[in-house]
Structure 1
Amino acid sequence: MRLLERDDTGGVCLREGLPNNKIPPYAILSHTWGDGEVIFRDLMDDQAWRDGLRFFWVDTCCIDKSDKAELQHALSSMFDWYRRAAKCYVYLADVSTHQQVIDSSDRELVVRQSGCTTQKWAFQEPNARVIANFFSKGWKPAFRQSRWFTRGWTVQELIAPAIVEFFSKEGLGLGDKKSLEWEIHNITEIPLRALRGFPLSDFSFDERKAWAEKRSTTREEDKAYSLFGIFDVHMPVLYGEGKEKAFKRLQDKFREDYRALAKLWSTEPRDPRVEKKRIELAKGGLLVDAYLWVLENPDFNRWRHSTESRLLWIKGDPGKGKTMLLCGIIDELERPVIADGAQLLCCGV
């Protein structure tokens, strides 16, 4: 994964080759093409810096779209990258806020009148502040009509991150996914449960497909490819196959995975302690502390403490240490913090 890093002088550099288990907290940016890339990136990396995040990700800088292998990996990983982000900033170039300039001495008055306990300021000039007119909410009609809500790729960019903050074209905060959830629900028809982070497995294939039904993409196949993460499906990207074939493959892969999971759930689980003993005898013992890195992995911890997700998939090439990792995780299973009924599935690919 590539990330952009901002230093103390305001300079930005590209950091490449970050391993999944050592990715620092980062902000991720969402926009629609043609939004004025330089202005957008400058506004949003300033916002990330103010939020204490040195690292941020934006597709225009962090994906080499000319590399087919990298593009395939990026499309398959996109949902996960958005889900892992500390914050997602959505830049709405077609939503303008009515502005007024006030002297900084009026700050307390504005905060009191707006009924807010805090006030976000977009710029840092000492004698003046530029603020949105939060009293009239004059930007709401433009927000409802924003192009961002009509694009296929932004479905996952809305659903995957826990925190999504919206900004006007001037870079002023409009609210977040939580404070605007009813507005977003009415615009997108996406259920509140999905917006609030409930498992997407609670929703059928047709329900999830409907969330993107009225949205458009530049390439017709992207109507399907943009939903990889929504369906937790991994399959090859084949531009030129057409939208219908892409959706057919997506649905077939979803059903295939669903049947495999259903079969797995119907299988009587074996005692992991017995399996661990068998593996250690076969492999010559467990390397002490060899698995400890996984305990800091965000995906493992999210699964470990979840009351919803019962399965942890461990995928990797043969000979990469999945078996030893599995033994270490089984040790963790014996601790009381693990969710009751959790199961592990180790898969060599």
Structure 2
Amino acid sequence: MRLLNAHNWTLKEFVSDDEVPPYAILSHTWDENEVNVQQWESMATSHIIASDINSMKGYQKIKRFGQKAASNGFHWVWVDTHKRCCIDKKSSAELSEAINSMFRWYRNAQVCYVYLQDVHWCTDKETIGEQLYPSRWFTRGWTLQELIAPSKVEFYSTDWKKIGSKDDLCGLLSSITRIDEHILKGGDMDSVSVARRMSWASDRKTSRVEDAAYCLLGIFDVNIPLIYGEGRKAFQRLQEAIMNATHDQSLFAWGKIVGCPAELIDRKQQLGTKPIPWKEAHHRQPLLGLFAESPADFKDSAEIWPVDHGYAHYHDRRTPPALVNKGVLINLVIYKKFPSVAYWDDPAIAQPHDLELTVLLCRLGSKGSKLIGLSLYSWGDDYYSRTDELVLVDLFVSQTLGNPDQDQLDRETKYD
């Protein structure tokens, strides 16, 4: 871990956590005109370069941060920019280690200063809320963990005047971010469902597609290798890591919540006495894999929670899912079959095809009476695709699935 000396602006590397001295850390949104580690180190040897860097907005931001930290008694500070001031981005190993350690670094800081470049200082609490809501800082992926991880967070305006602390503004921050207040106060992250944590990031953006996954590593306490260039595969690898670390099936509870599956057909269409209209691909219900494509898929999943362990034990549903080739092998209960339709493009055919509704071990609301179902289409040999629908199933109805007469519906399901 590299830290900046807040007094003489030199960088020093600390190899182990035991060596790291007390430090303040900065959270901010990145600008184009930031300072990287090579530029910072060159300032000590070249007055010309130092003069050029001194005029950069990014340098002035770091300088003001260092001055604020020093005035509060801190000798060392840490700051990240898109050019990695305290990280050598030319070293892929160092970058990977830093990103996998980022949550811990923010958690271990004595204080985190949040610099809100687009917020002006004011004393009126109502006006503070009006200014904080549209701030860009609340829209970025990386700032999610930077708000949650540190125990002490202080917010500063564009002219470095203190707006308030995380403790002072807890209710307002929870309203803006939808993060539970007890989490903002240092509560156990595992007390919140996977789906709910994903929903916190559902409307946040990152400059690189892969960072939508990497910025959530600390939120779920998992680690994965960094592979920039893999695109959305990074988010799938994140979900695989979460699946291996938890039994919380709300990981799979993403999509739109509905009362009944779409694409159902009537009895005559099922028997072939009435034609089924063919649809172009863009008008059909898309068939998907088990994992979501991005955190945005969880935007409606904030109130989905895993069922209690007693219910899971009663139905003997504790076998963990596993990755198989490019799919997932998971033990699920098929609750009900519905007459639906399968479309073929060459030739253009619409034909009857069963939709199978399976029940996840999670419910709508922590004490709710509705379980979450997935609409599945079988392609043979126990391979399935799902839709993006989350179908509500009455809890008292689903309890009949423990019946011996229903046990034949329990099966291993593979998702491509």
Structure 1 and Structure 2 fold alike (TM over 0.5)? yes
Give distance in 1, aligned partners of 2:228 and 2:19. 33
More helix by share: 1
Q: How many angstroms does 1:135 deviate by?
A: 4.3
Give distance in 2, aligned partners of 1:180 and 1:47. 21
Q: Equivalent of 1:248, from 236, 256, 266? A: 236
1:52 aligns with 2:73: yes
Give distance in 2, aligned partners of 1:136 and 1:232. 35
What whole-Å deviation, never above 9, does each CA across 1:97-145 have from its counterpart, x for those lacking one? 2xxxxxxxxxxxxxxxxxxxxxxxxxxxxxxxxxxx4247644322111
Cα 1:203–1:135, aligned 2, differ >3 Å: closer, same or farther?
closer
Q: Equivalent of 1:77, from 91, 101, 118? A: 101
What whole-Å deviation, never above 9, does each CA across 1:77-116 have from its counterpart, x for those lacking one? 000000000000000000112xxxxxxxxxxxxxxxxxxx
Q: How many angstroms does 1:17 deviate by?
A: 3.2
Give distance in 1, aligned partners of 2:116 and 2:21. 26
What whole-Å deviation, never above 9, does each CA across 1:210-263 have from its counterpart, x for those lacking one? 1111000000111111000000011111222222x222211111121226xxxx
Amino acid at match of 2:242: F
More strand by share: 2
Number of positions where the alignment pairs a residue of Structure 1 with one of Structure 2: 222
Which residue of the partner structure matches residue 114 of structure 2?
90
What whole-Å deviation, never above 9, does each CA across 1:137-196 have from its counterpart, x for those lacking one? 644322111000000000000000000100001000000111011111111111111111
Per the alignment, in what secondary structure is the counterpart of residue 213 of structure 1? coil
Which residue of the partner structure matches residue 201 of structure 1?
190
Per the alignment, in what secondary structure is the counterpart of residue 59 of structure 1? coil
Give distance in 1, aligned partners of 2:203 and 2:91. 30
Which residue of the partner structure matches residue 60 of structure 2?
39
Q: Equivalent of 1:174, from 163, 181, 191? A: 163
Cα 1:83–1:136, aligned 2, differ >3 Å: closer, same or farther?
closer
Per the alignment, in what secondary structure is the counterpart of residue 62 of structure 1? coil
Amino acid at match of 1:29: L
Which residue of the partner structure matches residue 17 of structure 1?
14
Give distance in 1, aligned partners of 2:126 and 2:9. 34
Give distance in 2, aligned partners of 1:212 and 1:138. 26
Cα 1:17–1:70, aligned 2, differ >3 Å: closer, same or farther?
same
Q: What 5-or-longer segments of structure 2 have no aligned partner? A: 34-56, 248-416
Cα 1:167–1:248, aligned 2, differ >3 Å: closer, same or farther?
same
What is the aligned-residue identity percentage? Answer: 45
Q: How many angstroms does 1:198 deviate by?
A: 0.6
Give distance in 2, aligned partners of 1:173 and 1:222. 30
Give distance in 2, aligned partners of 1:18 and 1:69. 14
Which residue of the partner structure matches residue 176 of structure 2?
187
Which residue of the partner structure matches residue 223 of structure 2?
234
Per the alignment, in what secondary structure is the counterpart of residue 246 of structure 2? helix
Per the alignment, in what secondary structure is the counterpart of residue 170 of structure 1? coil
Which residue of the partner structure matches residue 134 of structure 1?
123
Amino acid at match of 1:165: E
Cα 1:73–1:136, aligned 2, differ >3 Å: closer, same or farther?
closer
Higher alpha-carbon Rg: 2
1:3 aligns with 2:3: yes
Give distance in 2, aligned partners of 1:197 and 1:187. 18
TM-score by length of 1: 0.61
